[in-house]
Structure 1
Amino acid sequence: MMEIRFTLLLLVLLLVGCNSKQDEAVPIDDTSTQELSYLTHAPASKRTWLTLNHLQQGEYSQPSPIHNSYFMPIDAELTTLDNFSGNLTMKETKMLGNGPEEDNRGKGYLFFPGFTTDFYTQGEHFVPVKQDIIYSTGYDSFWGIILSPGKIWSEADDQGWLRVAFPFVLTDKLRSQTHNGIATFLFDPTNNEVSKFRFQVVQQTASYFQYHFWGQLDLLFNNESSEDFIAHKAMFNQYLAALPNIATWQSLTAAVEEDYVNAIVSDPNGADYSAIGLHYNDTLYLQACPTPYGDFPFCAQMRQGSFSAAKSMGAGMLLMWLTQKYGEEILDDVVTKYLPIEADHNQWDQVTIQHLIDMSSSIGELGIYPENDMFSDEYNEKTGPWTWATSAQEKLDISNSYSHYSWSPGEVFRYRTVDTFTLAAVMDALIKQKEGNDVNLWDRFTVEVLNPIGIAVLPAIHTIETNGTRGIPLLGTGLFPTAIDTVLISKLLQNKGVHNGVTLLNTSVTEKALAASTMHSLPSFNDNSIQNDNINYRFSFWLIKGTNMDCEYWIPRMAGYGGNFINLLPNGVTFFVYQDAFNSDFLVEAEKIANSLSPMCP
């Protein structure tokens, strides 16, 4: 799929913009004479770094991130601590890093975002209440932050203090790039004191911005919180109950030839792959999540940048849900029934919801022949301004300024992220028309679909509205799933939208969308105007022709920039790769493993 890679690479270069400053890395003290083995090697049986004393000091004492294992238990006693809660606040603060100082809008890459969140403890778990995107409370930071549950424990040398470690993500307001970090601090539940906040950001799904950040900052603690957490704790228990069994990748060799298993290997240096996993019979076989500083400790909970995989797990699933609520007939509703569109042509009067989810709206300007590249109109002079537009109306104004092709809607596949946003706006207007203006599309979907399958929060970027309301979700590129989220979503899709006997997604629509055939799909063309015999598109899913020669089948795939792939194989196996280097999708190798677990041909 080289044509996909090249086109999307050009797109991202436009989206990111150029930083003319190209600042040097933040200067740090010369520690070249010190013994620095702790930077890249796992600790021994006794803690020598990130001690209580280290975390009570005012400054960061290492010249770079250190091995991730120092953030986790070392000679520890597992601690259970129920009903302890409070509030944590971080002020926007300068951090260390090896990248540029700021973006081309003057926002600081080297400012850790300010945030505040309530938290509670439950058993050995540390649970922040805010797990959606938190945009910095200051004015200088480029970043927003997503906090995830972590763990608590005690160590003998910590003088009665308890340790906390949890994963987080730095991201922005426009794209689902992720910069994965891990943080730790100590607290004294008796005297309500906390240490400094130590963190490092050492992995990413963002091929265009591969830098690391680290630091030791002040953390404010208040033992008073604004909630009783009853609903949060119930949802967290539901999440724990929904967790699949997690096994090592190598344990697949119990049922699969070792050569097949070993053929799928992530980069041990942590440069390319963030997560690789396979789900079958409620077991997630997960490779370690490598980084340049050792494996990421919270691999299964590590949030990934979906990029365009959001079109399937976002827009596609939302439409499966809405057809369950309101009937399949809404697929034939014209877009203008719900969304007023001001354009210099009347083609929109023929475009239906079905056309938008199939990427066959017939709206567009570049690639005027049906056999032109499927990405002809994805990358153009309007793409940058559309991406940088922050409000829904700004985005829609640009989307509506496009002309139209000579063919009718539904006839030709043209990949256009702007059409997915228009679809999101239509679905938002539809649900508001049905249930009231105070209903938010993504929040309602979360409550009615994601929560029941065990996903408490799936962060989604929304447009930013001047009236303070929660805007339209960016369902084309803006989701942040974990490996566990990926499994739970894929399991629901593989089960045709049914969870524990309850139909959450329209079964008929889901079944048609994920059929292992090309029925109701459209062919794709590459940049040489040649039809791709092995790639079709339907209902936000790519269809990839299987390689098993004993029978013909097609594999529905969610796909995103950088080489993110979630493949729903016809025998119930789900195989996924999150990466940012456009390397192998390993699909041929994954098919061999899947076929060993359960034959794909009758």
Structure 2
Amino acid sequence: MKIKNAIIIFFLLTMVISGCLPGNSVSTFPTANTQAPLPTTQHTQPIPTLPPTTSSSTESTRTLLTAEMLMNGFVSDGPLDESALTMPGGAAVTSHTFEGRLELLGEEKNGNIKILRGELEPEFSWLPEFDFEFVQSDGYLIPVERGLIIADHPQWNYILEPGRVWQEAGDGGYSRASLPFALTVKGSNAAFNGTLTFLFNDQQVSKIWYQVTQETTSYTRANLWGQLDAVYHPGKVAGVQQIREDFAAELAARLPVKPIAALAEDYPGVDISAFGRGVTPEHMTWYGVVVNGVNYLGGCQTRFGLYPYCESMRATSYSTAKSAFTSVALMLLAQKYGVEVADLLIKDYVPEYVTSPGDWETVTFNHALDMSTGNYVSPGFMADDNSEKMGVFFGAQPYAERIQAAFDVPHAAEPGTRWVYRTSDTFILTRAMHNYLQTREGTDADIYQFVVDEVYRPLGLGPGAFSTLRTADNDWQGQAEGGYGQWWIPDDIAKLATFLIVDGGRINDEQILHSGLLAAALQQDPKDRGVKINSQSMYNNAFWANRYPKSGAFACEIWTIEMQGVSGNVVALFPNGITYYYFSDNQEFIWDAALRETDKIKPLCP
């Protein structure tokens, strides 16, 4: 890619995705924050309630998105209440079976956008071309293609999720469907959540209504909506029975979910307002507490009400990927091929290091995972990751330009002696592990697919987690990023956290992750605390750690372990085996109140 194009991409990444701090023109792409004190303003989250019923199976009470509106069209100056796209309680079973392709028409000419914060180019206002196969099963509408879908659009890609189908009395014999989807920015990690709905019978569909009303990305907020003509192409879908069976297994594998309010019912005395506290409600995507195998879930509010598909709502990973993918990958390699993998040299597996002005002669995989390669510009907290030079890395494509930008950093300290957060170092490590894996398993091996096959799939994560952001090579099918670039649903986070803090890296009693490396990451090995950030914080194997000394608040010294992401994403693993997580986009990082409250459920100290 020419330098001019890279600069354009960098500008869009800066303004659209991670933005820049007020008065600052540099990128603040995926980083994290270790601040733990409670904020001055004590934000608490609204407790979600069921959306109002829009119709029943016997009597039509619908006033929004009626059959007439979907069949004949209507004009709206913005999105509608999300309840209009939600399957109502008591809805009747559909009398039709949807199987075939759903094709939308006129996407580019019929899109609407209202930018609420930041700036977006005009092409962000319309959807990518939409022509996908779907299969119906037990009241669900399942997209055949799952995960990140690279679209023929200058800015957007798709992630499609299963929706619902049902029957309403006022729909003239047609069945009704809605389904969740996310728009992701091409070459970036930001996610904008939406829903679409339509009527159908065995041969045709109505117009479709879509709206996008929530996002996980700092500095940019926008509503998208529109009504499009559509064509239903009924027909047999290849492998339909397997698709249905796989989806049934996906649902069966999900952890039990209860609303966050049920936590106080199951554990009397717990103040549920402690969870989500400190995060501005309008910037919260979702949050939860995982206790004894149950995922207590809250949030999922949009600007137009409760999102119809909370359990399928995609949140941007940002740097939680450094822990959940890159660190897991190294622990997986160490368990399979020996702990010596952590001490392999970067230079032996990433030949592009020779172009670097830095010194990579003794930098190991583990140094890169710990953000302690000794190659950096400034030792200031997050200074390098927020720098203009790092912005060049974020905008550089394809792989050849990106890896060159990653290595464009001087030598400043001995490896392993100083923590300096650099997302580009994670990219280098991901490439090194990828190339090492190929020496073991052949040239077709891929480091992300390795983690999918060995960890994500056996854990029961759904197919939405089976793809990741990659470099632009081969239509964005190049090297996995590593430092960011995944999209989570709440069940993904609950399972990954349980796998780490409760199960110790085991699946079905088989050790999958190297126990020593995992123990170090979880601060369970006093001889290996990692690299010092400050007097109370450490960084070990891509996990943040905060020390709470023995005091009036706690009867013993405790450590909290976190995955973090720049927008305000926290997955906090507490020493009592409870996980508290939230994904948000106002860069608020706080878990003290939640930590103290979990002590009422399970003691933090032995």
TM-score by length of 1: 0.85
**Could you tell me how far 1:277 is from its partner in structure 2?**
0.4
Report whether the alignment pairs 1:48 with 2:63: yes
The match for 1:85 among 93, 99, 113 is: 99
Q: Describe the shift of the 1:81–1:10 C-alpha distance in structure 2 as closer, same or farther (beyond 3 A).
A: farther
Which structure 1 segments of 5+ residues have no match? 1-5, 18-40, 368-372, 526-531
Q: Describe the shift of the 1:331–1:284 C-alpha distance in structure 2 as closer, same or farther (beyond 3 A).
A: same
Report whether the alignment pairs 1:342 with 2:354: yes
Write out per-residue CA displacement over residues 464-492 of structure 1, whole angstroms, 9 at most, x where no aligned residue: 10x45721112212110111111111111
Q: Which structure 2 residues correspond to residues 162-177 of structure 1 after superposition, within 5 A?
A: 162-177=175-190
The 2-side partners of 1:397 and 1:265 are apart by 41
Match of 1:307, SS?
coil
Write out per-residue CA displacement over residues 226-270 of structure 1, whole angstroms, 9 at most, x where no aligned residue: 521454334323321221111121111135455622233579995
The code of the aligned residue for 1:97 comes to I
**Could you tell me how far 1:555 is from its partner in structure 2?**
1.1
Report whether the alignment pairs 1:566 with 2:574: no
Q: Is the 8 A contact 2:54 2:84 kept in 1?
A: no
Report whether the alignment pairs 1:64 with 2:78: yes
Percent identity over the alignment is 28
- The match for 1:124 is 139
Q: Describe the shift of the 1:133–1:16 C-alpha distance in structure 2 as closer, same or farther (beyond 3 A).
A: farther
Two-structure CA RMSD over aligned residues (Å): 2.8
The code of the aligned residue for 2:479 comes to I
The 1-side partners of 2:20 and 2:125 are apart by 27
Q: Is the 8 A contact 1:136 1:145 kept in 2?
A: yes
Q: Which structure 2 residues correspond to residues 352-391 of structure 1 after superposition, within 5 A?
A: 352-367=364-379, 373-391=380-398
The match for 1:535 among 534, 537, 540 is: 537
The code of the aligned residue for 2:244 comes to K
**Could you tell me how far 1:449 is from its partner in structure 2?**
1.4
The code of the aligned residue for 1:425 comes to R
**Could you tell me how far 1:501 is from its partner in structure 2?**
2.0
- The match for 2:478 is 471
The code of the aligned residue for 1:376 comes to A
Match of 1:490, SS?
helix
Q: Is the 8 A contact 1:174 1:387 kept in 2?
A: no
Report whether the alignment pairs 1:329 with 2:343: no
The code of the aligned residue for 1:449 comes to V
Which structure 2 segments of 5+ residues have no match? 1-17, 30-50, 56-60
Write out per-residue CA displacement over residues 131-189 of structure 1, whole angstroms, 9 at most, x where no aligned residue: 22223224xx4211111111111112223322211211111123321111111122112
- The match for 2:156 is 143
- The match for 1:394 is 401
Q: Which structure 2 residues correspond to residues 187-586 of structure 1 after superposition, within 5 A?
A: 187-189=200-202, 192-224=203-235, 227-256=238-267, 258=269, 260-265=271-276, 271-340=282-351, 341-345=353-357, 347-367=359-379, 373-405=380-412, 407-457=413-463, 458=465, 459-465=467-473, 467-468=474-475, 470-494=477-501, 495-516=503-524, 519-525=527-533, 532-546=534-548, 548-583=553-588, 585=590
Q: Is the 8 A contact 2:461 2:492 kept in 1?
A: yes
Q: Describe the shift of the 1:171–1:431 C-alpha distance in structure 2 as closer, same or farther (beyond 3 A).
A: same
- The match for 1:112 is 127
**Could you tell me how far 1:433 is from its partner in structure 2?**
2.1
The 2-side partners of 1:260 and 1:270 are apart by 17
Q: Is the 8 A contact 1:307 1:477 kept in 2?
A: yes
The 2-side partners of 1:348 and 1:232 are apart by 47
The 1-side partners of 2:146 and 2:85 are apart by 21
Say which is worse superposed, 221-230 or 61-70, in terms of deviation.
Answer: 221-230
The 2-side partners of 1:261 and 1:342 are apart by 54
The code of the aligned residue for 2:434 comes to D
Match of 2:310, SS?
coil
Q: Is the 8 A contact 1:518 1:554 kept in 2?
A: no
The 1-side partners of 2:539 and 2:377 are apart by 20
Match of 1:202, SS?
strand
Q: Is the 8 A contact 1:198 1:216 kept in 2?
A: yes
The 1-side partners of 2:431 and 2:478 are apart by 9
Q: Is the 8 A contact 1:103 1:109 kept in 2?
A: no
The 2-side partners of 1:272 and 1:13 are apart by 23
**Could you tell me how far 1:331 is from its partner in structure 2?**
0.6
Q: Describe the shift of the 1:574–1:66 C-alpha distance in structure 2 as closer, same or farther (beyond 3 A).
A: same
The 2-side partners of 1:174 and 1:469 are apart by 8
Report whether the alignment pairs 1:595 with 2:603: no
Q: Is the 8 A contact 1:165 1:182 kept in 2?
A: yes
**Could you tell me how far 1:204 is from its partner in structure 2?**
1.0
The 2-side partners of 1:62 and 1:320 are apart by 52
Match of 2:537, SS?
strand
TM-score by length of 2: 0.85
Q: Is the 8 A contact 2:184 2:192 kept in 1?
A: yes
Q: Describe the shift of the 1:268–1:600 C-alpha distance in structure 2 as closer, same or farther (beyond 3 A).
A: closer
Q: Describe the shift of the 1:75–1:569 C-alpha distance in structure 2 as closer, same or farther (beyond 3 A).
A: closer
Match of 1:137, SS?
coil
Q: Describe the shift of the 1:137–1:103 C-alpha distance in structure 2 as closer, same or farther (beyond 3 A).
A: farther
Match of 1:515, SS?
coil
The code of the aligned residue for 1:335 comes to I
**Could you tell me how far 1:11 is from its partner in structure 2?**
12
The 2-side partners of 1:536 and 1:269 are apart by 27
The 2-side partners of 1:580 and 1:259 are apart by 27
Q: Is the 8 A contact 1:305 1:481 kept in 2?
A: yes
Count the aligned residue pairs: 554
The 1-side partners of 2:80 and 2:278 are apart by 19
**Could you tell me how far 1:84 is from its partner in structure 2?**
4.8
The code of the aligned residue for 1:454 comes to G
Match of 1:53, SS?
helix
The 1-side partners of 2:261 and 2:430 are apart by 41
Q: Is the 8 A contact 2:470 2:476 kept in 1?
A: no
